[in-house]
């Protein structure tokens, strides 16, 4: 009796489980499918290489938008990498194990969860207005760097900590200084992990809208200096969807975004697999 009821419960439960899988999968299919069906026909060489018309027409392609996105990411990384990796090295290798360090780590964790628009508000008031950087790539990059800093510090610190103790001991035993150990042994060993973190940040930067919407101004023109206004792919999608009739162009921009994300996911997976193999294979 108990046996049969347990079996029938199992049957019901399994049906439910498969049902949730089916629903989750259909959500993915609807979003991606709809996006590709409407967006893909728009994408061609000319879409990628002509500038958008700007304003409310929504016509044209996304060439300047691609340039602005790349420009923004390059500037962001130039600010982000030294600060983030530096802080991670400090936390992983130099920081004393005391309350203060624990507090810093906790603060970083908390900031990693603060909504992007809060950083946007901060960036707007500080960089755009108070420091007179205007609506610009520079303001956007600074804001974005602040937003991504906690994420990078965390992933980079984890990567550094994953390097086996034996590496450090061996290097120190050979007479290397602390810095030589860090620079020649630990950093190279942790590099794939750090790069994974950086790619993660690039992925988030590509998808980010809220904090850039209020700091980059959204000009559709070709950015020609750090102080030019500009718009990223995600912002362009938002403007097209909200301000224009060009829903197909918005969908096409979405398709480009999804493809970028797929590539960055694949790179992250590949790198972290290699990293794990190196760390556990006893390099």
CA distances from 23 to 12, 34, 69, 239 (A): 16, 16, 34, 30
- Taking CB under 8 A as the criterion, the residue among 195, 202, 252, 279 binding another protein is 195
Closer Cβ to another protein, 20 or 45, answer by number: 20
**Containing H/E element for 24?**
helix 2-39
- The answer to whether residue 267 forms part of the interface with another protein (CB under 8 A) is no
User: Which of 224, 270, 273, 276 contacts another protein by CB under 8 A?
Assistant: 224
To another protein, the closest distance from the beta carbon of 63 in angstroms equals 16
Counting contacts by CB under 8 A, is residue 4 touching another protein?
Answer: no
Contact between 119 and another protein by CB under 8 A: the answer reads yes
> Would you say 268 and 199 are in contact if contact means Cβ atoms under 8 Å apart?
yes
Q: Is 13 in the site for another protein (CB under 8 A)?
A: yes
Report if residue 122 touches another protein, rule: CB under 8 A.
yes
As a dihedral over the C-alpha atoms of residue 276, residue 278, residue 282, residue 283, rounded to 10 degrees, the angle is -170
**Under the criterion CB under 8 A, does residue 257 sit at the interface with another protein?**
yes
Least separation, in Å, of the C-beta of 55 and another protein?
A: 3
Please report whether residue 150 would count as binding another protein according to CB under 8 A: yes
Looking at the Cβ atoms of 20 and 166, the one nearer to another protein is 20
- Collapsing DSSP to helix, strand or coil, 1 comes out as coil
Q: Kindly list the distances between the CA atom of residue 227 and the CA atoms of 54, 104, 122, 137, 209, in Å, as whole numbers in the listed order.
A: 19, 33, 18, 6, 19
Minimum gap (Å) between residue 254 Cβ and another protein: 5
- Residue of 44, 169, 188, 273 interacting with another protein (CB under 8 A): 188
Q: How far is the CB of 107 from another protein (least distance, A)?
A: 6
Residue range at the interface with another protein (CB under 8 A); choices 42-50, 122-130, 165-173: 122-130
Are the C-beta atoms of residues 197 and 151 closer than 8 Å to each other? Answer: yes
Helix, strand or coil for residue 219?
coil
Q: Is the dihedral of CA 225, 227, 228, 234 positive or negative?
A: positive
Residue among 214, 249, 252, 272 that touches another protein (CB under 8 A): 214
Interface residue with another protein among 61, 218, 249, 252 (CB under 8 A) is 218
Residue 259 sits in the site that holds another protein (CB under 8 A): no
Return the SS3 of 134.
Answer: coil
Residue 41 found at the interface with another protein (CB under 8 A): no
Cβ atoms of residues 191 and 167 within 8 Å: no
Angstrom distance (rounded) from CA 87 to CA 66:
31
- Minimum distance between the CB of residue 45 and another protein, rounded to whole angstroms? 23
- If you search the block for the tokens 């790198």, which residue do you land on? 271
CA dihedral for 90, 91, 94, 98, sign (positive or negative) = positive
52 binds another protein (CB under 8 A): no
120 belongs to the binding site for another protein (CB under 8 A): yes
Are 213 and 232 in contact, with CB atoms under 8 Å apart? no
């Amino acid at each position: 009796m108990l046996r049969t009821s347990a079996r029938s419960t199992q049957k019901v439960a399994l049906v439910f489980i498969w049902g949730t899988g089916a629903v989750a999968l259909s959500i993915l299919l609807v979003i991606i499918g709809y996006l590709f069906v409407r967006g893909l026909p728009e994408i061609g060489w000319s879409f990628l290489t002509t500038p958008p018309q700007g304003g409310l027409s929504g016509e044209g392609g996304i060439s300047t938008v691609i340039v602005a996105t790349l420009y923004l990411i390059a500037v962001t990384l130039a600010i982000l990498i030294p600060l983030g990796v530096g802080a991670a090295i400090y936390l992983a290798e130099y920081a004393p194990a005391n309350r203060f360090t624990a507090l810093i780590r906790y603060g970083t964790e908390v900031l990693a969860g603060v909504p992007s628009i809060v950083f946007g508000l901060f960036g707007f008031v500080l960089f755009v207005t108070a420091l007179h950087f205007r609506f610009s790539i520079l303001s956007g990059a600074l804001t974005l760097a602040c937003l991504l800093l906690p994420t990078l510090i965390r992933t980079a610190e984890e990567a550094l900590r994953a390097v086996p103790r034996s590496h450090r001991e061996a290097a120190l035993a050979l007479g290397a200084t602390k810095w030589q150990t860090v620079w020649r042994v630990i950093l190279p060993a942790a590099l794939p992990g750090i790069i994974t973190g950086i790619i993660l940040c690039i992925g988030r930067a590509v998808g980010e809208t809220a904090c850039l919407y209020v700091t980059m101004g959204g000009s559709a023109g070709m950015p020609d200096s750090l102080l030019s206004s500009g718009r990223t792919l995600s912002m362009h999608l938002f403007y097209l969807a909200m301000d224009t009739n060009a829903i197909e162009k918005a969908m096409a921009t979405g398709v480009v975004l999804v493809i970028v994300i797929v590539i960055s996911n694949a790179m992250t997976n590949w790198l972290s697999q290699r990293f794990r193999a190196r760390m556990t294979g006893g390099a």
